[in-house]
A and B are shown apart, each in its own frame.
Chain A
Amino acid sequence: MIKKIVLMGNPNVGKSVVFSRLTGANVISSNYPGTTVDFSKGKMRLDDKTVEIIDAPGTYSLEPANKAEEAASKMAEKADVIINVIDATNLERNLLLTLELLEKNIPMIIALNLWDESHHLGIQIDEKKLEEILGIPVVPTVALTGEGIKELAARIKEAKTNDKIKPTSDDGRWIKIGSVIGKVEKIEHRHHTLKDRISDLTIRPLTGIPIALGIIFFAFWIVRLVGETLIAYVFEPLFENIYKPIAMEISGLLGPGIIHDFLIGRLIDGEIEFVESLGILTTGLFVPIGMVLPYIFAFYLVLSILEDTGYLPRLATLVDNIFHRLGMHGHGIIPMFLGLGCNVPGALSIRTLETRKQRFISATLLAIAVPCMAQISMIFAIFSSSELGSGTWYFKPIFYISLVFLVLIILWVIIGLILNKMIKGETPEIFLEIPPYRRPSLKTTGKKTWMRVRWFLKEAIPWLFFGVFIIGVLNATGIMDAVSSAFEPIMVGLFGLPGAVSIVLITGFLRKDLAVGLLLALAITTPFSPMQLVIVATMLTIYFPCVATFAVLFKELGLKDMFKSVLIMSSTTVIVGITLRFILLGV
């Protein structure tokens, strides 16, 4: 009886897409190898019975080269049925794993995926013949559109072993593969297509580097445009015109008192001000949904498109040179990119880097110099806010925002250079596959964006509620004022900042966006100069990751390395804070 089905295949052949088609579950897939680092588990109906189905990480062989592959090869052993997903555009290479799997004598069925793409490439595969030679069912599929998935599901119970295939050496397998290929595959000569030409242009340094700069610049421009537009035309009107009257109603019903203080917060001139009121139902909802969510959505939409087209591995190739000087290789751009959305997935993806040195350096740089989208959107908000010291704006907000980013980029490079010299260990060379460009499908890109946004909401809102609650408690008990006065000498003495900034930094450990929100509220009563805001925003990014990121880094790095990393973070903060004070404030 079939209880457990395992999906096996090379990286980037679409296993995750087949998986979500079979189970209806949502799994993140991208057009670059190694998206599934962990495995996903799901359930599917098979003859009115529910069976477990597992999406294993991609592996080129059962003799594993890294941790993810090792995990995959162990999963294969426990399967009742294996679905071997094969990339039809690279049949020869994919068959190595197929033969290795067949040697295990576990019932198997093949999904010949990317069937449509192989036709475009002029590759003709006789799937009937392949079925006959291998002795197991072969079903052509286009997982992205769902073509062939029904047949695949229907034929799972026909999965068979082939005891004519005996364990052999690699050479033996390649000879066998050569003869199979000769019988089933015909390749027509094809001309250089537009896609090939774009691919060449984007990976050659002379054209690729300017294009990369353009794409990154354009990506951020789009994020800001989409984020700003959504706030101005959707979220702000929604909160101001629809939610505010409801919240005022609740405020009236509650009447003054402690519950009111926690849920609604302070009323300013008898009105709710979403940023300054600091209540759970006001600021606690407005910061994540009204200010951060639009940018999160915009960022993940752009990231998903970049991922699904297959551009990121090309970018990794182009930046490899720079990353090598910082002790990583080009693949290190992936954690940094993901980290710009939220540091947690960024920190998780660090495990795809091979050595301890690389992992330590990327974790530390991520924590110090990569602000998450939640924080970035609040930084946008604070510098765009017209209420802040109007009249002192001799520069446009974009000047101050750029200043924060410039400092972070300089830090990223300098700390990377130093760590590369200081940390012992190897940085292996880059070695990665460049997938063909694919047109992102609206459905998968949309679904992926939605999954990530939903994940953000689930992750962020509880922490924000908790943060707002804690601030309320600290405020009510007078601890906030006490802390603020206690740190006053340090803040003023070292960084030229008001004592209350210490509260902002402490809040930043819970959530960085809330911390900037608090700063926004503080700035109404305590005047900040724009340069002071630049210093706070920068320090808030570098001094410490938020607690959620901290937990992941701790797990990935271990106690000793995490301790070292924290030491680097805190000393950097002090040095940068003091330096910026002298440069930007001039005192």
Chain B
Amino acid sequence: MHGAHTPLAHLKKGESGRIIHIHGGHGFKRRLNTLGIREGQIVKVVSKQPMVGPLTFSVGNCQMTMGRGMAHKIIVEGL
């Protein structure tokens, strides 16, 4: 994964990435931004629920749970 661009949804449990782009409309991007999820931030996948369930990741000192579809819109660079 190192250096490759991939959606956050494709990172495995325990893998980290740096956010390089967020797809989607202004509202969606802003909503993520206000929660500290924005370009340049480092995210780490904590857990993935089975059957395309939600994904939990950490960003800064926070943890977020997010649906898999949303996690597909966040593009990260593998670390």
Structural contact, B38 and A330, CB atoms closer than 8 A? no
* Contact present for B65 and A320 (CB under 8 Å): yes
The verdict on B24 contacting chain A, using a C-beta distance below 8 Å, is no
Please, what's the 1-or-0 string for A311-328, where 1 marks a CB less than 8 Å from any CB in chain B? 001001110110010000
Do A61 and B34 contact each other (CB < 8 Å), given the known contacts A317-B54, A317-B56?
yes
How close is B40's CB to chain A, nearest CB, in angstroms?
A: 9
Smallest CB–CB gap between A371 and chain B, Å? 28
In the complex, whether A36 has a CB less than 8 A from a CB of chain B is: no
> What band does the interface of chain A fall in when counting residues whose beta carbon is under 8 Å from B?
35 or more
User: How many residues of chain B are within 8 Å of chain A by beta carbon?
Assistant: 29
Asked if residues A63 and B65 are in contact (CB atoms below 8 Å), the reply is: no
A434 touching B60 in the complex, CB below 8 Å, given contacts A205-B49, A321-B53: no
> Are A63 and B35 touching (Cβ within 8 A)?
no
- Which residues 153-207 of A have a CB within 8 angstroms of B? 170, 174, 199-200, 203-205
Question: Do A170 and B67 have beta carbons less than 8 Å apart?
Answer: no
Is the CB–CB distance between A321 and B30 below 8 Å? no
Contact B65 A317 (CB under 8 A): yes
B51 touches A89 (CB 8 A): no
B56 CB → nearest A CB, Å: 5
**Most chain B CB inside 10 Å of its own CB: which residue of A199, A200, A203, A431:** A431
B50 at the interface (CB under 8 A from A): yes
Chain A interface SS verdict (over half): helix
A65-B31 contact, Cβ under 8 Å, with A320-B49, A320-B54: yes
**Proximity bits, A540-551, B CB within 8 Å = 1, else 0:** 000000000000
Say which residue of A60, A200, A313, A429 sits within 8 Å of B67 (CB atoms). Answer: A429
Whether B1 sits at the interface, judged by CB under 8 Å, is no
Given the complex, which residues of B lie within 8 Å of A205, measured CB to CB? Answer: 47-50, 53
Interface bits B45-76 vs A (CB < 8 Å: 1, else 0) = 01111110110100011111111111000000
B51: chain A residues at CB < 8 Å are 321
Q: Is the CB of A321 within 8 A of B34?
A: no
Question: How many angstroms from the CA of A434 to the CA of B48 in the assembled complex?
Answer: 14
Report whether B69 and A429 are in contact in the complex, using a CB–CB cutoff of 8 Å. yes
Residue A452, interface by CB 8 Å: no
| A346 interfacial by beta-carbon distance below 8 Å | no
Identity of the chain A residue whose Cβ is nearest the Cβ of B32 in the assembled complex: A431
Q: Is A430 an interface residue (CB 8 A)?
A: yes
Segment from A90-98, A136-144, A525-533 that makes contact with B: A90-98
| Residues of chain B from 1 to 56 with CB closer than 8 A to chain A in the complex | 13, 27, 30-31, 33-36, 38, 46-51, 53-54, 56
Name the distance in Å between A230's Cβ and chain B's nearest Cβ: 37
* Nearest CB of chain B from residue A541's CB, rounded to whole Å: 30
Q: How far is the CB of B27 from chain A (nearest CB, A)?
A: 8
Verify A430–B50 contact, CB threshold 8 A: no
- Is A121 an interface residue when CB atoms closer than 8 A count as contact? yes
Residues of A contacting B46 in the complex (Cβ-Cβ under 8 angstroms): 200, 203-204
Q: What mask results when residues 423 to 457 of chain A are scored 1 for a CB within 8 Å of chain B, else 0?
A: 00000111111100000000000000000000000
**Residue numbers in A under 8 Å from B64 (CB-CB):** 431-434
With a cutoff of 8 Å between Cβ atoms, the chain A residues found around residue B47 in the complex are 200, 203-205, 208, 317
CB of B75 to closest CB in A, whole Å = 17
Residue of B nearest to A201 (CB): B47
| Contact among B54, B63, B67 for A199, CB-based, below 8 A | B63
B62 contact set on A, CB distance < 8 A:
90, 93, 433-434
Contact partner of B61 among A90, A200, A429, A431, CB < 8 A?
A90
Bound CA–CA A532/B31 (angstroms):
53
User: Which residues from A are CB-within-8-Å of B36?
Assistant: 90, 92-93
Q: Which of B33, B38, B68 contacts A429 (CB 8 A)?
A: B68
A208: chain B residues within 8 A (beta carbon)? 47
Assembled-state Cα–Cα distance A96/B38 (Å): 13
Contact at B70–A431, with CB atoms within 8 Å?
yes
B38 touches which one: A60, A90, A174 (CB < 8 A)?
A174
Knowing A93-B35, A200-B46, A203-B47 are in contact, say whether A430-B54 is a contact too (CB < 8 A): yes
A329 on interface, CB distance cutoff 8 Å: yes
Complex Cα distance A451/B64, Å?
30
- Which B residues are CB-close (under 8 A) to A430? 54, 65-67
CB neighbours of A204 from chain B (8 A): 13, 46-47
Beta-carbon nearest neighbor of B37 in chain A: A93
* 10 smallest beta-carbon distances between A and B, as pairs: A429-B67, A93-B36, A60-B34, A434-B63, A204-B47, A321-B53, A61-B34, A317-B65, A320-B54, A203-B47
Offer 18 A-B interface pairs, CB within 8 angstroms, sorted by A. A60-B31, A61-B30, A92-B60, A93-B60, A170-B33, A200-B46, A203-B47, A203-B56, A205-B49, A313-B65, A317-B47, A429-B66, A429-B70, A430-B65, A430-B67, A432-B65, A433-B62, A433-B63
